[in-house]
Amino acid sequence: MGIRATLVSVVMAVAAGCGGGPTMFTDAAGSGGNADASIVADAATDAAADASADAAASDAASDAAIADASPDGAADASPDTMLDPTPDARADAASDAAPDAGSTGVVDPAPGLDTPGEYTGPGCPDSNQSSFTLAVGAASAYTFSGTITGNVGDGVFYVHGPSGETVGGPLETAANGSYAKTLPLFCGANIVKLVWNNGTCPLVLVYAVNRTTCVAADITATVQWDDLGRDWELHLIKPGGHINDNATDCTWTSCITSSPDWGVVGDATDNPHKDIDNTGAYGPENIWLAGPEAGTYTVMVEHWNAGGNPLSDGFVTLNVAGQSYTIAIQDLAPDHVWTAATIEWPSGVVTTSQAIHDCTANWSSGCRDVIP
């Protein structure tokens, strides 16, 4: 399935979908949105020219665009992947599931637009949103919902934290334009962008989301997958631990309503938290940890539901010690476990992996093999 194709197509549509010429957008409040929008529109002109010049480039260059940490990384993608004509077109992109394995960073789908508001224009999609500044208290996740008109297919989301943390992915949108997605938030001031396109020009919603009464995470892991998958289960395993051991593995059985006691005994501030769990398609699932003890942490993903398709694809985004990493996998079959990465602490060294373990012979509400 095409998580990657969807993300690439909408990012490219933002970069070059305005016809190659500057477009003035207005925000919902009418408070200065034009100035920011003109910046991105002018940038879109350059991006469109770059994309046209690079149209003959290899698929590898196109693949790299979504993982490029620079704001103009999408300009190297082929215009042929700019927009899925229908939501069902994602299913035709099984070979393009997610950002390239081992890539770094998450591309900003609307660079230059950071002031809260709605950015749109004549002939572009529109939304029913009117409030773009949110105070969420200590909440580490928030559900964004609403209705879009005039879009074609799904959107994308992007979250940027106060210390450079990033996470992004597809934003599933129903045929009637409705959407509802729970997204992870970082401690402090976040910029959240929701972007849709229609093949002509984009709609960009920019939110300023302030999370307070919190502690900054040193390690955050987020997994997303396609509509072929059924419940990709995220695991963060402490040094010396094993998958589905509730004392050493932060996952759905151990880490949602309570947390295992890691690090200093009795100190809750260094315990892990799973704040988003998802048992269907797409995700995300999210785990964060502050104050990790020294050692090697392992990020693993199970394809948990036997009803999932063995061709399901997805990706993990890691934010570790101020750096973002995106690791993709293809064809994760049910009852199989993917070791996405190991994290050395306190060095923050991330080693990505494509290793998949077949656990079908020892599966009972999760993999029961002693791994890693």
Provide CATH code, domain 219-362.
2.60.60
In this prediction, residue 173 carries a pLDDT of 98
Query: How is the beta sheet containing 314-320 ordered, strand by strand?
Result: 103-104, 323-329, 314-320, 219-225, 285-289, 273-276
**Residue 185: which residues within 8 A CB-CB, separation 6 or more?**
136, 139, 140, 141, 142, 159, 161, 192, 209, 211
**Per-residue pLDDT tens for 145-158?**
999 999 999 999 99
Kindly report, residue by residue over 74-113, the tens digit of the pLDDT: 322 222 222 222 223 233 322 333 344 445 679 999 999 9
Give residue 142's pLDDT: 98
Q: 23 or 269, which is more confident? A: 269
Q: Which tens digits make up the pLDDT trace of 248-285?
A: 999 999 999 999 999 999 999 999 999 999 999 999 99
Of 216, 234, 365, the residue nearest 292 (C-alpha): 216
Q: Give residue 31's pLDDT band: very low, low, confident or very high (50, 70, 90).
A: very low
> For residue 150, what pLDDT is reported?
97
Of 31, 5, 1, the residue nearest 85 (C-alpha): 5
Question: Does domain 3-211 correspond to CATH entry 2.60.40.2550?
Answer: yes
All structural domains of the chain with their residue ranges: 3-211, 219-362
Predicted confidence (pLDDT) per residue in 279-311, tens digit = 999 999 999 999 999 999 999 999 999 899 999
CB 153 within 8 A of CB 7: no
Query: Span 207-226, mean pLDDT?
Result: 97
Residues 6+ apart with CB under 8 A from 153: 6, 9, 10, 83, 84, 85, 86, 87, 89, 90, 173, 197
User: Considering the chain, what is the average pLDDT of its residues?
Assistant: 79
Q: Starting from the edge strand earliest in sequence, which strands make up the sheet with 178-184, in order? A: 126-127, 141-149, 178-184
Neighbours of 309 (CB within 10 A): 18
pLDDT for 198 beyond 50: yes
- Identify the residue whose tokens are 């797409």: 282
Q: Is the pLDDT of residue 212 over 60?
A: yes
Query: What pLDDT is recorded for position 101?
Result: 43
Q: Given this model, what pLDDT does residue 37 score?
A: 35
Does this model's pTM top 0.85? My answer is no
Per-residue model confidence (pLDDT) at position 74: 30
pLDDT confidence of residue 306: 87
Least confident stretch, 1-5, 160-164, 202-206, 354-358: 1-5
26: exposed, middle or buried (Cβ count in 10 Å: 0-12, 13-18, 19+): middle
Q: What is the mean pLDDT of residues 192-200?
A: 97
pLDDT of residue 104: 67
Instruction: Categorize the per-residue pLDDT at 14 as very low, low, confident or very high, splitting at 50, 70 and 90.
Output: very low
Whether residue 364 is predicted with pLDDT greater than 80 in this model: the reply is yes
What is the percentage of the chain residues whose pLDDT exceeds 70? 72
